[in-house]
Chain A
Amino acid sequence: MMTKPYLALGLAGPHLVELTTNHQLLERWDALPVAFSVLGIDRIDGSAPAPVTLSSSAVGATLASATKRGRFLIAASPQRDHPYNIARRVASLAHLSGGRSGLLIGVRDAYAPEGPKDAPAWGGAGLGGGAPLNAQTAYDTARAVRALEQSWPYDSIIGDRETGILVESNRILHVDIENSFSIAGPLNAPAPETGASVIAWYAETATDRPPTSDDTPIELILGAAGSVPVVALGKEPPVGQFAGIVLRAGIEQSVSELLDAAERWLADGFVPSALGGSLRATLNLSLPAPLPSTARAAFPVPQPHVSL
Chain B
Amino acid sequence: MLGYLPAAWKTPHLKKDAFVDPEYWENLGKTAERGTLDAIFLADGPLLGDPAYDANPIRLEPTVNWGHVAAATSRVGLVATASSTFNDPFELAERFLSFDHQTGGRAAWNVVTTRGVPAARNFGMPDIPFRDDRYERANEFVDVVRALWASAATGRDVHFHGGFFDIDGRLRVPPSKQGHPVIFQAGGSPQGRELAGRAAEGVFAAELTKNQAIEHYRLVKGFARSNGRSPDDIKILPGLLLSLGSTEEEARRRSDEIHDAGPPSYSIGWLSQAIGFDASKLELDEPFPEEVLAPIGNAQSFLGSIGFRESIITQIRKTNPTVRSYLKQTRYTGSGHAGFVGTPEQLADHIEDWFHAGAIDGFNLQPDRLIDGLDVIVDELVPILRERGLYRHQYETETLREHFQAASPTPPF
For window 143-158 of A, CB contacts with B under 8 Å fall at 152, 154, 157-158
Q: Are A164 and B64 in contact (CB under 8 A)?
A: no
B17 CB contacts on chain A under 8 angstroms? 154, 157, 159, 190, 193
Q: How many whole Å from B157's CB to the nearest CB in chain A?
A: 9
Q: Are A61 and B102 in contact (CB under 8 A)?
A: yes
Residue in contact with B102 in the complex, picked from A58, A80, A187, CB distance below 8 Å:
A58
Chain B interface size, under 10 / 10 to 19 / 20 to 34 / 35 or more: 35 or more
Assess whether A223 is interfacial by the CB under 8 Å rule.
no
B264 CB contacts on chain A under 8 angstroms? 305, 308
Residue in contact with B165 in the complex, picked from A52, A126, A157, A165, CB distance below 8 Å:
A126
For window 231-257 of B, CB contacts with A under 8 Å fall at none
Q: How many whole Å from A22's CB to the nearest CB in chain B?
A: 13
Task: Provide the bound-state CA to CA distance between A85 and B88, in Å.
Answer: 10
B166 CB contacts on chain A under 8 angstroms? 116, 124
Q: Are B9 and A66 in contact (CB under 8 A)?
A: no
**Stretch binding the partner chain, chosen from A92-100, A264-272, A279-287:** A92-100
Task: Provide the bound-state CA to CA distance between A193 and B18, in Å.
Answer: 12
Task: Provide the bound-state CA to CA distance between A157 and B99, in Å.
Answer: 30
Assess whether A129 is interfacial by the CB under 8 Å rule.
yes
Q: Are B57 and A188 in contact (CB under 8 A)?
A: yes
Q: Are A164 and B169 in contact (CB under 8 A)?
A: no
Task: Provide the bound-state CA to CA distance between A187 and B72, in Å.
Answer: 27
Can you name the residue of chain A whose Cβ is closest to the Cβ of B15? A159
Q: Are A58 and B63 in contact (CB under 8 A)?
A: yes
Q: Are B95 and A84 in contact (CB under 8 A)?
A: no
Chain A interface size, under 10 / 10 to 19 / 20 to 34 / 35 or more: 35 or more
A20 CB contacts on chain B under 8 angstroms? 102
B54 CB contacts on chain A under 8 angstroms? 166
Assess whether B143 is interfacial by the CB under 8 Å rule.
no
Residue in contact with B122 in the complex, picked from A184, A189, A190, CB distance below 8 Å:
A184
Q: Are A64 and B90 in contact (CB under 8 A)?
A: no
Residue in contact with A299 in the complex, picked from B16, B50, B259, CB distance below 8 Å:
B50
Task: Provide the bound-state CA to CA distance between A50 and B59, in Å.
Answer: 33
**Stretch binding the partner chain, chosen from B19-27, B274-282, B294-302, B403-411:** B19-27
Q: How many whole Å from B163's CB to the nearest CB in chain A?
A: 8
Binding site for B on A (CB under 8 A): 13, 17, 20, 49-55, 57-62, 64-66, 80-82, 84-85, 88-89, 91-93, 95-98, 111-114, 116, 122, 124-129, 152, 154, 157-159, 161, 164-169, 172, 181-190, 193, 298-299, 302, 305, 307-308
